[in-house]
Amino acid sequence: MEFVRYDINRYTPRQMVLPPAVFLLFALAVLGYFTVTTGMPVTPGIDYAGGTAITAFTADSRETIEAYFSAFPLLSVGEGVNNGRYLKFGPMSDDQFRELTELVGERYPDAKIDQVGETFGETLQSQALLALVFSFIGMSIVVFIAFRSIVPSFAVVLSAFSDIAIAAAAMQVLGIPLSLGTTAALLMLIGYSVDSDILLTSRVLRRKGKLDEKLAGAFRTGFIMTTTTLSALVAMWFIATVGQIQIIAEIAAVLIIGLIVDLMNTWLLNAGIIKWYVQRSGGRT
């Protein structure tokens, strides 16, 4: 594994910080654009936007289903369990919903219908936002208590924030909707990010030795940890995709993107800031 022995010490702090900073700024621009144009940084799924989900047990093709429900806001036709079809509809009026229910009952009498109201979806949006904010606040407090220094603590928090922002922008670009499942994946990224960042910061600030050696040792350990997790997630994504389990595939995809981004943010952004901090303090750790 030659890449594990890659020498991150040959770059200056500025060279290390610049690439992830550019990615972060681009991600913020993407999220800002969609927030201004659509009201949400990432396209919300039924969980947040409201709508109707129908599981129909039928052999009808996608084209047949789309033609049958052409008068309704059909968003997608996916594969369901037991050779069924999973249909997603956007928000509609009460009259439209009653018409839809009647049509479904006529053609697919065994179908299962689930509806999420717009008001309930907005409530879930607020709760998800609060969960994200409190997660960052709690993480920031714990990190500051652990290191009792502003710069290392800021580096950890910035790296975690960058992971979330870039992953969210990638979701928008790739068409992965924001749902309860993908929100949970974004929250899990905070844990993954902090884990690798604390490994790096602890190795550099709390162990004795040369800075270059401590950075290189932390990189080898952290890279192996992250790639092991990535391997498991890729396997989960593949199985979920083949098995047409959409929500699991989306969660795995978000985590895969986030961990790849975390490799960059931990070993370039965070490592660059820590390297600058140690060099500025005269190498005292």
CATH number at residue 82: 3.30.70.260
Residue 170 lies in a domain: yes
Q: Is residue 6 part of a domain?
A: yes
Where is the domain boundary, 67, 83, 116? 116
User: Do residues 75 and 92 both lie within one domain?
Assistant: yes
pLDDT score of 79 = 67
Phi, psi (rounded to 5 degrees) for 40: -135, 140
Are both 147 and 105 inside the same structural domain?
no
Q: How many domains does the chain have?
A: 2
**Judgement on whether residues 187 and 239 belong to the same structural domain of the protein:** yes
The mean pLDDT values, 10 residues at a time, for the chain of 285 residues are: 59 90 95 87 78 80 82 76 74 81 83 70 72 80 82 89 93 88 88 86 82 84 88 92 82 94 92 88 57
Domain assignment present for residue 194? The answer is yes
| Same-domain status, 73 and 210 | no
Q: Are residues 132 and 256 in the same domain?
A: yes
206 with 244, same domain? yes
Domain assignment present for 65: yes
Do 159 and 248 sit in the same domain of this protein?
Answer: yes
Residue 201 placed within a domain: yes
The pLDDT value given to residue 28: 95
Q: Are residues 68 and 153 in the same domain?
A: no
Residue 285 located in a structural domain: no
Whole-number pLDDT of residue 168: 93
Q: What is the pLDDT of residue 282?
A: 62
- Indicate if 148 and 24 belong to the same structural domain: yes
Whether 14 and 152 share a structural domain: yes
Provide the residue range defining the domain that includes 139. Answer: 2-45+119-280
